[in-house]
Amino acid sequence: MDALGVSRVTVRTGLARLVERGLLERRQGSGTFLVQPPAGARLRSGLERLETYTVHAGRLGLKLGSEDLSIEAVGARPDEAAALEVSEGSPLVKVSRVLLVEERPAAWMVDVVPEDVIGVEEVRERFRPDAMLLDLLVSEGVPVGFSQMSIEAVVIDPDERVGRNLDLKALSAALSLTQTMYLADGRPVQWSRDTFLPGHLNLHVVRELFEVRNLS
């Protein structure tokens, strides 16, 4: 600390932030260690922050990519229309693909966004297979403020569309994440449905004590 010219408090604060971001982990009785991606590398995501998988992968030194990438103009289906608060048939831009982590299939991803937010030709020109659609929206100045996510454990049949897209050979458990991104004013701007195969995504959340039963 003397060599760095910083105080003990500054070092502790910096380490706490790195732990919070998932770059370091504390082991009781042992110390603080750099997080190393395990064999069969997986993304780590804290639910209390809206950050893209691109950011998580960068922190862990993981390489992302895409397979079977499709970018198309579509009309809003009933579920998409409800999530984005638009009329059925409204023009949307749809991005679907297999997400690769370290060149291995990790998830099937589908994102839709109203065409008045960003056009299909712009997405085709600017979208990067190693990034997320949310990265592009924010880069284009779309003021995304927050999101709402639901998480569900599911079973994927290899004969279903998602199973075929992920080239499954047998039934597999999976983690289904459905997320709506909102502008700061509360307008929904993107709807995402991601299906992660086992071993490719770790989720955690920091919970503040709110209320407990007083036993005294």
Distance from C-alpha of 38 to C-alpha of 169, rounded to nearest angstrom: 24
Residue with tokens 């709506």: 180
Q: 23-63, pLDDT tens digit by residue?
A: 567 777 667 765 554 444 454 555 566 788 888 888 888 89
Helix/strand/coil (H/E/C) assignment for every residue in 169-185: CCCEEEEEEEEEEEECC
The torsion defined by the Cα of 21, 203, 104 and 162, in degrees rounded to 10, comes to -140
Using only C-alpha atoms, the chain has a radius of gyration, in whole angstroms, of 20
Predicted local confidence at residue 79, as pLDDT: 96
Give the up-direction half-sphere exposure of residue 106: CA atoms within 13 A in the CB hemisphere. 23
pTM listed for this prediction? 0.74
Q: 157-212, pLDDT tens digit by residue?
A: 999 989 999 989 999 999 899 999 999 888 999 999 999 988 877 666 666 667 77
Residue with tokens 């919070």: 20
- Phi, psi of 140, rounded to the nearest 5 degrees: -90, 5
Q: 108-159, pLDDT tens digit by residue?
A: 999 999 999 999 999 999 999 999 999 999 999 999 999 898 989 999 999 9
Determine how many CB atoms are found less than 10 A away from the CB of residue 136: 20
Domain boundaries, the chain: 1-35, 36-199
- Phi, psi of 3, rounded to the nearest 5 degrees: -65, -35
Q: Selecting from 3.40.1410.10, 3.30.310.50, 3.20.20.70, 1.10.10.410, what CATH number does the domain 36-199 have?
A: 3.40.1410.10
Helix, strand, coil percentages in the chain from 3-state DSSP, rounded to 5: 20, 40, 40
Q: 5-22, pLDDT tens digit by residue?
A: 667 777 777 777 666 655
Predicted local confidence at residue 143, as pLDDT: 93
- Phi, psi of 207, rounded to the nearest 5 degrees: -115, 130
